[in-house]
A and B are shown apart, each in its own frame.
Chain A
Amino acid sequence: MTTADLVVIIGGVAAIAWVNWYFFVAGRQRGSTARHQ
């Protein structure tokens, strides 16, 4: 496995984690904050 492979794997896992956090967790938190206001 090359360094480039390793960088892509780590980057890919991080990107998947961020996408799911941004759309599912952060989006929901924002929605509930808006409702409480």
Chain B
Amino acid sequence: MTTTSPTTSSDLTIPVQGMTCAACSSRIQRVLERTPGVSAANVNLMTGSATVWYDPSSITPDRLVEAIRDTGYGAVLPAPDESAESLVDAQDAAREDEIGDLRRKLALSLVAAVLTMVFSMPLAELVGHGVADPLMPLMMPLTDLLRRVAPWIGGVSADTWRWLLLALTVPVVGWAGRHFYTRAWAAFLHHSADMNTLIAVGTGAAFAYSVVVTLADDWLSARGIAPHVYYEAVVWIIALILLGSLLEARAKSRTSGAIRRLAGLRPDTARVARDGVELEIPLARLRPGDEAVIRPGEKIPADGTVVEGASHVDESMLSGEPIPVGKRPGDTVVGATLNRNGTLRVRVERVGADTVLSRIIRLVQQAQGSKAPIQRLADRISAVFVPVVISIAIATFVLWFVLGPEPAHLQALVAAVTVLIIACPCAMGLAVPTAVMVSTGRGAELGILIKGGEPLERTERLDTVVFDKTGTVTEGRPAVQQVLGGDESSLLRLAASVERLSEHPLGEAIVAEAVARGLSLVEPQGFESRTGRGVAGRVEGRTVAAGNLALLVELGVSPGRFAAEAERLAAEGVTPVYVVVDGSVAGVVAVADPIRPAGREAVAALRGMGIESVMLTGDNARTAASVARAVGIERVLADVLPERKLEEIRRLQDEGRSVAMVGDGLNDAPALARADVGIAMGTGTDVAMEAGDITLMRSDPLDVPRAIRLARRTMRVIRQNLFWAFVYNVIGIPIAAGALYPAFGIRLTPAMAAAAMAVSSVSVVANSLRLRKGVKREA
């Protein structure tokens, strides 16, 4: 998909194939950033894509694709009108191809590995064991079987065995493991090194030595050098690393499940009315201006406005709200939501990449690929790690050659190759991105959209959560609490009838209550709205007015016996609406913004996590204090005008607190931006999604502690991953170099190192996958 900003800069997302670790992605990113005409680049290891910001007047998209290919990785230019969903499809298809390719390469390598091991046994008996691999005895039964089946193999010469082993190794090095060498070479040309460098140098050294021995065995034997070959080590290393890559690719495809589920929400086809005929067309052919017909039980194909019909639409995928929303002509509908009971005709306004669903997918994708600050540590380590490991391997070779037992040159070669193989920094590179990806994906499933690694890291450190009262602690929609007066129903019916034409939220609350109670309302005569005071009119021949104390003063009516009651209600934060019938106060309707039950639970949950809740509101201190008491909040900042909210957040931060602001994302936007973490309550609107670091799609206050719990768990998993990846290398490299050999005679072989490396990468991915479970919706 290509978008152009108001300036001359464009951005382009290109699927990239073959990236296996953070060093790969950071190398492609570095190359792109150095390409003339590119202003910025972000290469996403987990989604397998590169987003590039470039100046179209100085570089073309084709040249960007070429720049990626020059680094040794695959890249294809996406179609110009590609939406987020089709990009996900393309990435999925690329990943499936990659998995299939890895599977074929692994199959060949494993067969070759077993055969080389079996054939190496008779060879070792002929020329003696060079540096025996402990895995070899495992193959003994197969070798014995071979001897029984074909007793003549005892007469095969060592030379023949070596050529046979070479023939088995060439397809593995030349086809199955070819990408390690081409990528290592491409990295070398760019003065950088990654895991491919270590594999290529390690297996390359063992393979080159073995080929020399195969070609010049007599010459070497004549000079007292036993002609040992290490083909089986080369083949086993490549086979085990391919196995690790395959397991990793499969695990990664599971981590992107959240995006796929989101993308899978849209229907495949749309029914449109053209010239009075209904046609079913593929979704890709739907255009703005089309009139879509959606029958009951069908999904709405794209964003638009209802032009005909009435129905209820299940928008739970967007808002998490399980109750279907009524839709009538003029109402907007969102693509991928489910039409329940009536047929709707919808004028399509936005399709493809412009729809709300596509924007949500993009947001999740960007979040999953964004880097947490802790990742910079891993990147810095990866950048210096490989050259340092090559230096250690050279030093190991020198020490074994000079100080090691005979055959010293072989011992030195094996120890150096083992160091190179065990030190592949894959686990370190995967530690952070896998955890960020799985946890943002899990968040999206829970209706918690987290904008990537950095917000996650800041969320973990929170100690204060500031709630904006309206819409978060309270419903944000006033409702009738109580009706005081003689006959409640008739009083409410009169008040609601006169309020019918009012657009004030208090009036709407009274009408809603009357409708909910099944009261039949009548059309008021001579309706009059008195701004700031109330409304008045004639209902069934009676003069009715509803409003505040100012209205009573204007009408010259005394509140009478309701004065004390109204005073008490006001003290509790409830608004009293006086109902005047035929010149005297007949009763009071108490209206208040009801407290959300989940608000109280959220505050209690936060307290349990050691986080203080603070309420911020523009209401007067008395009302604010009563609401705060009801939800269990102790600290209240009242009488705060919208423009002062930002200063209150700053003041809390000056106290040394790490502050989250929970708001509705509109007038709270500056405070959301100022807070360490902005949490927007929203139903997927642009403002809500862009203002905060976290968007709670279901607008449920309980999602605030859930998001913090998810962030804490994620950071814990990241620290575990980094710790184990680091410890693995700190322990593995000295053992591979032979640190335990002088004292205990213990040393590793290249094949064992390859197995250990695969296990460490897979264990990091598995640890991150634990985040898919744990933080429950009910939590």
* Residues of A participating in the B interface, judged by any CB pair closer than 8 Å: 1, 4-5, 8-9, 12-13, 15-16, 19-20, 22-24, 26-27, 30-31, 34-35, 37
Beta-carbon contact of B191 and A9 below 8 Å: no
Which 10 pairs across A and B sit closest by C-beta, in order of nearness? A27-B191, A12-B398, A23-B387, A34-B34, A16-B391, A8-B401, A5-B402, A15-B394, A19-B390, A12-B394
On chain A, the residues within 8 Å of B397 by CB distance are: 8, 12
Whether, in the assembled complex, B518 has its beta carbon less than 8 Å from a beta carbon of chain A, the answer is: no
On chain A, the residues within 8 Å of B191 by CB distance are: 22-23, 26-27, 30-31
> Separation in Å of the B394 CB from the closest CB of chain A?
5
Known A-B contacts: A12-B397, A31-B30, A34-B34. Give 18 more (CB < 8 A): A5-B401, A5-B402, A8-B398, A8-B401, A8-B402, A9-B398, A12-B395, A16-B391, A19-B390, A19-B391, A20-B391, A23-B191, A23-B192, A23-B193, A23-B387, A27-B190, A27-B192, A37-B36
Interface residue SS majority, chain A: helix
- Cα distance, A10 to B559, chains bound together (Å): 104
- Cα distance, A19 to B390, chains bound together (Å): 8
> Separation in Å of the B193 CB from the closest CB of chain A?
6
On chain A, the residues within 8 Å of B190 by CB distance are: 27
Contacts known (A5-B402, A8-B401); A16 close to B34, Cβ less than 8 A: no
On chain B, the residues within 8 Å of A9 by CB distance are: 398, 402
> Separation in Å of the A26 CB from the closest CB of chain B?
6
Q: Which of B15-41 contact A (CB under 8 A)?
A: 30, 34, 36
Q: Which of B173-195 contact A (CB under 8 A)?
A: 190-193
Among A19, A20, A34, A37, find the residue whose CB has the most chain B CB atoms closer than 10 A: A19
On chain B, the residues within 8 Å of A30 by CB distance are: 191
Contacts known (A24-B387, A34-B34); A19 close to B402, Cβ less than 8 A: no
Contacts known (A8-B402, A24-B387, A27-B192); A19 close to B34, Cβ less than 8 A: no
Q: Which residue of A lies closest to B193 (CB)?
A: A23
Q: Which residue of A lies closest to B30 (CB)?
A: A31
B34, B36, B387, B402: the one contacting A20 at CB < 8 Å is B387
- Cα distance, A35 to B397, chains bound together (Å): 38
- Cα distance, A22 to B189, chains bound together (Å): 10
Q: Which residue of B lies closest to A4 (CB)?
A: B401
- Cα distance, A12 to B394, chains bound together (Å): 6
Among A12, A13, A15, A37, find the residue whose CB has the most chain B CB atoms closer than 10 A: A12
> Separation in Å of the A10 CB from the closest CB of chain B?
9
On chain B, the residues within 8 Å of A24 by CB distance are: 384, 387
On chain B, the residues within 8 Å of A15 by CB distance are: 394
A16, A26, A35, A37: the one contacting B394 at CB < 8 Å is A16
> Separation in Å of the A16 CB from the closest CB of chain B?
5
- Cα distance, A35 to B116, chains bound together (Å): 49
Interface residue SS majority, chain B: helix
Contacts known (A19-B391, A19-B394, A20-B387); A35 close to B192, Cβ less than 8 A: no
On chain A, the residues within 8 Å of B192 by CB distance are: 23, 27
On chain A, the residues within 8 Å of B36 by CB distance are: 37
- Cα distance, A22 to B188, chains bound together (Å): 9
- Cα distance, A8 to B394, chains bound together (Å): 10
Q: Which residue of A lies closest to B392 (CB)?
A: A16
- Cα distance, A36 to B284, chains bound together (Å): 44
Q: Which residue of B lies closest to A37 (CB)?
A: B36
On chain A, the residues within 8 Å of B395 by CB distance are: 12, 16
- Cα distance, A15 to B390, chains bound together (Å): 9
> Separation in Å of the B408 CB from the closest CB of chain A?
9
- Cα distance, A34 to B390, chains bound together (Å): 26
Supply 25 A–B pairs (Cβ within 8 Å), ascending by A: A1-B402, A5-B401, A5-B402, A8-B398, A8-B401, A8-B402, A9-B398, A9-B402, A12-B395, A15-B394, A16-B391, A19-B394, A20-B391, A22-B191, A23-B192, A23-B193, A23-B386, A23-B387, A26-B191, A27-B191, A27-B192, A31-B30, A31-B34, A34-B34, A35-B34
Q: Which residue of A lies closest to B401 (CB)?
A: A8
Give B380-423 as 1s and 0s: 1 = Cβ < 8 Å from A's Cβ atoms: 00001011001100110110011000000000000000000000
Q: Which residue of A lies closest to B399 (CB)?
A: A12
- Cα distance, A17 to B401, chains bound together (Å): 19
Q: Which residue of B lies closest to A8 (CB)?
A: B401
> Separation in Å of the A3 CB from the closest CB of chain B?
12
Q: Which residue of A lies closest to B416 (CB)?
A: A12
Q: Which residue of B lies closest to A9 (CB)?
A: B398
Give B753-772 as 1s and 0s: 1 = Cβ < 8 Å from A's Cβ atoms: 00000000000000000000
Q: Which residue of B lies closest to A31 (CB)?
A: B34
Q: Which residue of B lies closest to A22 (CB)?
A: B191
- Cα distance, A37 to B193, chains bound together (Å): 24
On chain B, the residues within 8 Å of A19 by CB distance are: 387, 390-391, 394
- Cα distance, A9 to B399, chains bound together (Å): 8
> Separation in Å of the A36 CB from the closest CB of chain B?
11
- Cα distance, A19 to B391, chains bound together (Å): 7
Q: Which residue of B lies closest to A12 (CB)?
A: B398
> Separation in Å of the B386 CB from the closest CB of chain A?
8
- Cα distance, A22 to B187, chains bound together (Å): 12
Q: Which residue of B lies closest to A2 (CB)?
A: B402
On chain B, the residues within 8 Å of A4 by CB distance are: 401
- Cα distance, A34 to B33, chains bound together (Å): 10
> Separation in Å of the A4 CB from the closest CB of chain B?
8
> Separation in Å of the A19 CB from the closest CB of chain B?
5
> Separation in Å of the B593 CB from the closest CB of chain A?
56
- Cα distance, A8 to B397, chains bound together (Å): 9
On chain A, the residues within 8 Å of B398 by CB distance are: 8-9, 12-13
> Separation in Å of the A31 CB from the closest CB of chain B?
7
On chain B, the residues within 8 Å of A26 by CB distance are: 191
> Separation in Å of the A14 CB from the closest CB of chain B?
9
- Cα distance, A23 to B191, chains bound together (Å): 5
Q: Which residue of A lies closest to B388 (CB)?
A: A20
Q: Which residue of B lies closest to A7 (CB)?
A: B401
On chain B, the residues within 8 Å of A23 by CB distance are: 191-193, 386-387
Give B204-221 as 1s and 0s: 1 = Cβ < 8 Å from A's Cβ atoms: 000000000000000000
- Cα distance, A18 to B655, chains bound together (Å): 53
Q: Which of B312-344 contact A (CB under 8 A)?
A: none
Q: Which residue of A lies closest to B36 (CB)?
A: A37
On chain B, the residues within 8 Å of A5 by CB distance are: 401-402
- Cα distance, A20 to B501, chains bound together (Å): 80
On chain B, the residues within 8 Å of A12 by CB distance are: 394-395, 397-398
- Cα distance, A22 to B397, chains bound together (Å): 20
Q: Which residue of B lies closest to A1 (CB)?
A: B402
